[in-house]
Amino acid sequence: EPLLSLSGVTASVEDKTILHGVNFAVNSGETHVLMGPNGAGKSTMGHVIMGDPVFTLTAGSIEFAGQDISELSCDKRSLAGIFMSFQAPVEIPGVPLSSFLRAVIAGRPGLEMKGKEFRRRVKELASALDMDTSYLNRELGVGFSGGEKKKMEMLQLLLLQPRLAILDETDSGLDVDALSVVSNGMELYRRTTGGSLVIITHNTRILEHVDVDRVHVMVNGQIVREDDASLIPWIDEHGFESFETPITAPA
Ligand code: ADP
Ligand code: MG
Ligand code: MG
C-alpha cells in the first residue's frame, strides 16, 4: 500500500479547475520528481496534498498512511507527517530562528525534548548543513540570502522528520550555494529518516546527486507521463513540448 495516494484528484481555485483527475502514488522511502511546464499545476498539487484552504477538492480523494485525509485541515495533515517547503519563506523580525524552530516542533508527538537536547540537536543539524550556528540567533529570515533561506528550510525538515516531504523549489533560480544546500538536505533527510520525497523542480541539476525512483510529468493539470529516472535526461534534452501536443489518433 502506498504512503501517499491521489485518486482522480480534481481541484479548483475561484471556480477555475486547475487539477483534472490526478492519479499519483508514492511508497515509503521513495523519491519522486514532479516536472512540467510553468503553470501546469505542480505547485497546486503540492498545496492540495497539504490541504491549503485556497484550493477546493471537487472530486477524487487523497490517502496518506492508510487514512483518507481529503477532509483534514492543513494542521492535521502536518501532524500526520506531511511537510511542504514554503514557496515564500517567512520573515519574522524580532523572532530568532531558534525560537521559531522550537515552536515548530512544540506539541508534536515523538519530538518532545528538553531545551538542552533541542539546542544540541539543532546545532548538530546546523553543522551537518554547513550552517553557521550564529544564524540560530538571527531574526527569522530577515536579510537571509537565498542559500540561507534554504538552509533554514532544510533545518526545519530535518528537525521535523516528516514521513513525506514535498519540496517545491519554485521557478526562481537557486544559486549554486542554495542548490547544494537543497541537495545535501535531501540526502540527509533520506539517509537519516527513511522518509519519502516529492521534488517539484525545473532544475534537474538539483537531482544530480539524488536517487530518483519515479518521475511524473504534469501538463495542464494532468499527469501525462510517469517513468523511471531515465526520463530526466530525456526532458533535459527535449523539454516538455512533445507532452504538450494534443495526442491525435493515427489516420
Ligand atoms: P506550476 O507550479 O506548475 O507552475 P501552479 O500550480 O502554480 O503551476 O499554477 C497552475 C495554474 O493555477 C496557473 O494557471 C495559475 O495561474 C493558477 N493558480 C495557482 N494558484 C492560484 C491562485 N491562488 N489563484 C488563482 N489561480 C491560481
Ligand atoms: Mg510556476
Ligand atoms: Mg510552481
User: DSSP per residue over 211-244, as a string?
Assistant: ---EEEEEETTEEEEEE-TTHHHHHHHHTTHHHH
Compute φ and ψ for 8, nearest 5 degrees: 55, 35
**Residue 2 near residue 164, CB atoms below 8 Å:** no
Q: Whose CA is nearest to atom 22 of ligand 1?
A: 13
Q: Is the ipTM of this complex over 0.95?
A: yes
Question: With 90 as the cut, is the pLDDT of residue 229 above it?
Answer: yes
Q: Which three cell numbers stand for residue 211?
A: 536517487
Is residue 202 a part of any domain in this protein?
yes
* CB of 40 closer than 6 angstroms to any ligand 1 atom: yes
pLDDT at 138: 86
DSSP H or E stretch at residue 186: helix 176-193
**Residue 229 near residue 45, CB atoms below 8 Å:** no
Neighbours of ion ligand 3 (CB under 5 A): 42-43
Is residue 137 a part of any domain in this protein?
no
* CB of 36 closer than 6 angstroms to any ligand 1 atom: yes
Q: Cα 44 to the chain's mean position, in Å?
A: 12
pLDDT at 123: 93
Quote the ligand 3 centre to 185 CA distance (angstroms).
Answer: 20
Q: Tell me the average pLDDT across 63-75.
A: 97
Q: Are strands 196-200 and 164-168 parallel, antiparallel or unpaired?
A: parallel
Is residue 135 a part of any domain in this protein?
no
Task: Identify the nearest ligand to the CA of 13 by its number.
Answer: 1
Q: What is the CATH number of the domain that holds 179?
A: 3.40.50.300
Is residue 227 a part of any domain in this protein?
yes
Q: Report how many domains make up the chain.
A: 1
Range of the domain at 67: 4-89+163-244
* CB of 87 closer than 6 angstroms to any ligand 1 atom: no
Shortest-distance atom of ligand 1 to CA 41:
6
Q: Which of 20-34, 84-98, 128-142, 204-218 has the lowest mean pLDDT?
A: 84-98
Quote the ligand 1 centre to 41 CA distance (angstroms).
Answer: 6
pLDDT at 8: 98
Contacts of 215 (CB under 8 A, 6+ apart): 32, 33, 35, 225, 226, 227, 228, 229, 231, 232, 235
Is residue 75 a part of any domain in this protein?
yes
Is residue 102 a part of any domain in this protein?
no
Shortest-distance atom of ligand 1 to CA 36:
3
Rounded Cα distance, 98 and 123, in Å: 10
H-state helical runs in 19-145: 42-50, 74-80, 97-105, 115-128
* CB of 41 closer than 6 angstroms to any ligand 1 atom: yes
Q: How much is the pTM?
A: 0.92
Question: With 60 as the cut, is the pLDDT of residue 187 above it?
Answer: yes
The pLDDT tens digits for 9-36 are 999 999 999 999 999 999 999 999 999 9
Is residue 188 a part of any domain in this protein?
yes
User: E strands along 53-174, which residues?
Assistant: 56-64, 67-68, 82-84, 92-96, 139-140, 164-168
Is residue 116 a part of any domain in this protein?
no
